[in-house]
Structure 1
Amino acid sequence: MVKSGIKILQGGFQNILSVNCFTLHVIHHFAQISTKQYLAMEADCEEKADRVTLKQVNEKAYAFWTDVLGSPRHIVAPMVDQSELPWRLLSRKYGAQLVYSPMYNAGVFLKDPNWRKQCLATCPEDRPLIVQFCANTPDAFVEAGRYAQHMCDAVDLNLGCPQMIAKRGHYGAFLQDEWDLLHRIVTAAVKELSVPVTCKVRVFADIEKTVRYARVLESAGCALLTVHGRLREQKGHKTGLASWEHIKAVKESVSIPVVANGNIRYLSDVDACLAETGVDGVMTAEGNLTNPALFTGKMPPAWCMADEYFELAKQYQPHQSAARAHMFRLWHKCLPLHPDLRTQLASAQGLDGIAEISRQLAERMKASCEGAEIDEMAAQHTDGSEVEPWRCQPHVRAPLTDTNTGDVLGEKRTHPDGADAEKPKKIKRPANKRKGGNPAVSREVRKSAAFKSKFKPCTACSGNPRGMKCDHELCRACCKVHSVRNVFDCTGHKFSFKSRAERQQKEADQAGAVHATDNGDASNGALHVAAAADDGTSADTATQCEATL
């Protein structure tokens, strides 16, 4: 009878989520269950309570996804110096339902008010919008988020940048092993900011580890998780294919909205990714840069996209480096055919200069069509057939080949660290060409702390490495602000604000001296004219003197 009563108590307890520790203690005392059973029931109670709390948080996450963002399926990724306001508006016109700002370094963002104002440039049509920061401390990320939260719909933490500058600055994908730090950053931001906090990550080679990583961010309060299906090491010529299998595993393991990133070149890739992974939306970066109309399923002429971009650029004035980079992406198939214009585009100054090179390139490509009718909104060719070079089309990287045999390296690889992956052969460079420059420096020395100390942090922002020859021990961005404010020079970063000011002052003094000399000569000439008139000199002589003056 007693045993049956204990079973009833245990069975009823399993269905009650609100049982607290005091209730468990009462059951333990009166039912006389074992301590092992009691501890197991207590752990189960805490786990179910966490599930209830997490479920409530995830319900808010999906409410944000549907009510605020509008359940977007077509998303443009955050791209450094590339997803600026004019490009975001152009992308929205051609099907993008959610766009991100470029990635901003939180440390520099907080230090430079002028740059901060440029970063936060937006307009009423630029919504929904998510602003992305890279940071490695809770304080920096939260403080940067406070500046941006009133001008966007969410703040994103970049955990996917694989570049060397991210490694030196200790942010981006180089934080993906520090789960405790990331949990503290996201938790602090969720608590302090008035908008949701989202994250963008890369995957680990191990799917299970990737899933655990995603759950850590989910438990911290992340409202939206974007998963780039590539490893941290997959960049540049080693980019390779993204693993949708990893993304699918994350989607099946968390209960917040998940966005897939990687392998999106055509609109058909978007549909395939949604079907294979079950994600809520699909993000593209490089595909959007080469074809802003990707989400429409069309391949318009590059000059149409360029002209529309420059119309928006006239209104919102992006930096010329962004405009130049966009033209290199849009015309990537045509520029090799016209190397003279490629050289001019690289050195063109100002938005008008860059737009003029784009116009000349458009005229040449139109002339090459020999009067044939141009379909400005042709459908995308996804079957590998040849496309006119002047159409917006994806950039396809050539596979790596062995220089000796000509064989394609890694041709059978589905993922860089997959079980059946074929590893590419490593080609050793001569010792004098290896990183480090000095063949006498051993690998152990190059890896030592003393050798790496040349990359010391900036004394102002501590986020970027300082310039090795900077006179003020600052990174380039902080050094520029410091030099402008205090009128200093910097030989390392080649800033000459002090020298320029002294040169301008010297030129102004010389101009003043010349002006004073000219005034003195004019006064002497006038006296001579007056004397000539008093002496009865002829009017013709006086007139000649005035003409000479």
Structure 2
Amino acid sequence: MPSTLSTVANHNPSTGSPATAPPPPPPPTMARKLKGFDFYKTILKSPRFIVAPMVEQSEYAWRILSNRYGADLCYTPMLHARLFSAPDAKYRNENWQTGPGDRPLIAQFCANEPDVLLAAAKMVENECDAVDINLGCPQHIAKRGKYGAFLQDEWDLIANMVKTLDQGLAIPVTCKIRVFPDVEKTIRYAKMIEAAGCQLLTVHGRLREQKGHKTGLADWEQIKRVKQAVGIPVFANGNILYKEDIDRCIEMTGVDGVMTAEGNLYNPGLFTGKHFASWKLAEEYIQICREIPESSTVSAMRGHFFKMFRPCLSEHTDLRTALAKANTVDTLADVVAQLKARLTAVSDSAEIYETPSTGFELDEAGYRKLPSWCLQPYFRVDGTLKQHKAPTTVEEMVEDAGANETTEKCTADEECLFEKKEKDEKAAVPPNQVLPSKREVVEKEAESTKGDNKRPARDEVLKARKARAAARSSTAGRDNNRKKLVCASDTCGNIAAGTCEFALCKRCCRARPVVEVRKGEEPPAVCETHKSRRQVEPAAPATGGPTSPAVQA
């Protein structure tokens, strides 16, 4: 729906032309639409601590818990615009919950069609403070669906989506993006989005390719450059482990707020700067879910508990198994109660880990040593960081980002060269020559290194693979031989059952004793394969007569 606001023509006194009549007053919903920093300060209340949009993780109950422990602003989980706006309300009802204690709130959608995105956003504009477009999801599902970070190169489409929401909604539109390898391109990208109508921009300082074991470090320098280049509020995302990191990030980049995802999931009390006992916040979360049953799901709760209790579950493997099997709120609560009983025994019933007066002790990787009973961040160390001591402060992390980026670039260049080499090698092969398969190459390598004590595990894996392949071949051969058997019945051309004692198909084997009993003969030996399903009917009268329909069938 286009905005009803219009400009008023200027009255020209020198020509005496009458002024155009003023436009009708805007609807009440449009009157609250503010832009840029007015929106940031008036509606959002200048948030510094932001909970990121997380699929099935930043649900209503979790947002309530996060708000209690210092969050200034929360995002909904990413919502699929096409599913959300579909006539069938099932997806919408399952994924949209809000209520008291849930503001300010920004709803995030993924989409690649402006009209569909607008239709979905219109459904929630009266229940949130802004709508965010997901332009940063790097996961494979986003690649298949062509949304998130995989729209990064389609600037016209992105501008169209932002403009459509800016003109059609009564609330502002915001965006969340990832950076490009070239900072200048990232700046142009951000300015294009701002020009299209975006009122607040979240910059995740990682590349689209940085995910999973290649996550690496976020580039705060890129975030700083974007903040300096645009005239709208900017949130930073990435490299947040502790509350102190938020303060340093704001100081170093100049952003208006800091968003965290994993930091909040593993420690929902992160914004307070404290390390609470895991069971304390878990019990509070369960209480919220009991009071508002529709605020979460069992699968979401289970996922949260695996993260909150991650440090201690390796010590209590029986409860880890019980947590994985729990499928109701009550069974989840029971597991949490058992964990609480065990953890309070080692923590002397402490609910908060007090910071040592001498400062935190560091582990061999350079991270803070914390007891397993308290909430703490999760460290994802990739291959780049394994070569040296992990950074202990955000300053060191940012310094390390340059080296990390260089290594990532070198790795990418090496991969490109490797792909080019592969293509050249394939092009050099004559058309009638077949290249060896990857398995053949691996097996040949294994043969050449047989007896090498450095690769016993690999030899065992290859041996197991060969055994499985042989078993499959044997089964396939047996099945093919079985399919060659034809039913022994003169009137049937079906394939015989491989285990039938009479070499008949299943249908003929079941029917055979019925026919012979009707003839007054003794039934033959029963085929054990079809015995349990055979239904032998009583013998027919001695006098002949027309065969019943059942026999004909």
- TM-score normalised by the shorter chain: which range applies? 0.5 to 0.7
Partner of 1:336: 314
Alpha-carbon distance, 1:261 to partner: 0.5
**1:226 alignment partner, one of 202, 223, 232:** 202
Partner of 1:120: 96
Alpha-carbon distance, 1:60 to partner: 2.7
For residues 400-549 of structure 1, the aligned pairs below 5 Å read: 400=383, 407=387, 414-415=401-402, 418-419=405-406, 423=410, 439=438
Q: Distance in 1 between matches of 2:361 and 2:260?
A: 20
Q: 1:382 to 1:264 in 2, by over 3 A?
A: farther
Asked whether 1:361 is paired with 2:336, we answer no
CA contact (8 A) 1:410 1:421 kept: no
Alpha-carbon distance, 1:356 to partner: 1.1
Q: Deviation per CA, 1:282-337: give whole Å up to 9, x if none.
A: 11110001111111110000000100000001122211110000000100101111
CA contact (8 A) 1:159 1:175 kept: yes
Aligned-partner residue type, residue 57 of structure 2: Q
**1:142 alignment partner, one of 105, 118, 129:** 118
Q: Deviation per CA, 1:227-270: give whole Å up to 9, x if none.
A: 00001011111111101000000000000000001111111001
**1:260 alignment partner, one of 233, 236, 261:** 236
Asked whether 1:299 is paired with 2:282, we answer no
Q: Deviation per CA, 1:75-131: give whole Å up to 9, x if none.
A: 100000000011000000010010000001111112241221232211121100000
Q: Distance in 1 between matches of 2:382 and 2:317?
A: 24
Alpha-carbon distance, 1:361 to partner: 1.4
Greater fraction of residues in helix: 1
Partner of 1:393: 376
CA contact (8 A) 2:384 2:404 kept: no
**2:328 alignment partner, one of 340, 343, 350:** 350
CA contact (8 A) 1:241 1:415 kept: no
RMSD: 2.8
Q: Distance in 1 between matches of 2:353 and 2:321?
A: 29
Asked whether 1:162 is paired with 2:149, we answer no
Asked whether 1:76 is paired with 2:76, we answer no
Q: Distance in 2 between matches of 1:63 and 1:422?
A: 40
Aligned length: 372
Which 10-residue stretch deviates more, 393-402 or 180-189?
393-402
Q: Distance in 2 between matches of 1:378 and 1:413?
A: 30
Residue identity over aligned pairs, in percent, reads 49
Alpha-carbon distance, 1:355 to partner: 1.6
Q: Distance in 2 between matches of 1:355 and 1:416?
A: 45
Q: 1:383 to 1:174 in 2, by over 3 A?
A: farther
CA contact (8 A) 2:215 2:382 kept: no
Partner of 2:546: none
Q: Deviation per CA, 1:53-90: give whole Å up to 9, x if none.
A: xxxxx983111100000000111000000000110000
Aligned-partner residue type, residue 68 of structure 2: K
CA contact (8 A) 1:155 1:196 kept: yes
CA contact (8 A) 1:300 1:378 kept: no
Aligned-partner residue type, residue 153 of structure 2: D
Aligned-partner residue type, residue 299 of structure 2: S
Asked whether 1:105 is paired with 2:102, we answer no
CA contact (8 A) 1:61 1:223 kept: yes
CA contact (8 A) 1:68 1:153 kept: yes
Give secondary structure in 1 for the equivalent of 2:371: coil
Alpha-carbon distance, 1:377 to partner: 5.7
Aligned-partner residue type, residue 230 of structure 1: R
Structure 2, unmatched stretches of 5+, are: 1-32, 363-367, 392-398, 423-436, 441-553
Give secondary structure in 2 for the equivalent of 1:150: coil
Aligned-partner residue type, residue 329 of structure 1: K
TM-score, normalised by the number of residues in structure 2 = 0.63
Give secondary structure in 1 for the equivalent of 2:275: coil
Q: Distance in 2 between matches of 1:355 and 1:84?
A: 19
Aligned-partner residue type, residue 316 of structure 2: H
Alpha-carbon distance, 1:423 to partner: 4.0
Give secondary structure in 2 for the equivalent of 1:349: coil
Q: 1:207 to 1:284 in 2, by over 3 A?
A: same
Structure 1, unmatched stretches of 5+, are: 1-57, 432-437, 442-549
CA contact (8 A) 1:414 1:421 kept: no
Partner of 2:512: none
Q: Distance in 2 between matches of 1:298 and 1:354?
A: 25
Partner of 1:273: 249
Q: Distance in 2 between matches of 1:409 and 1:422?
A: 21
Alpha-carbon distance, 1:134 to partner: 0.2
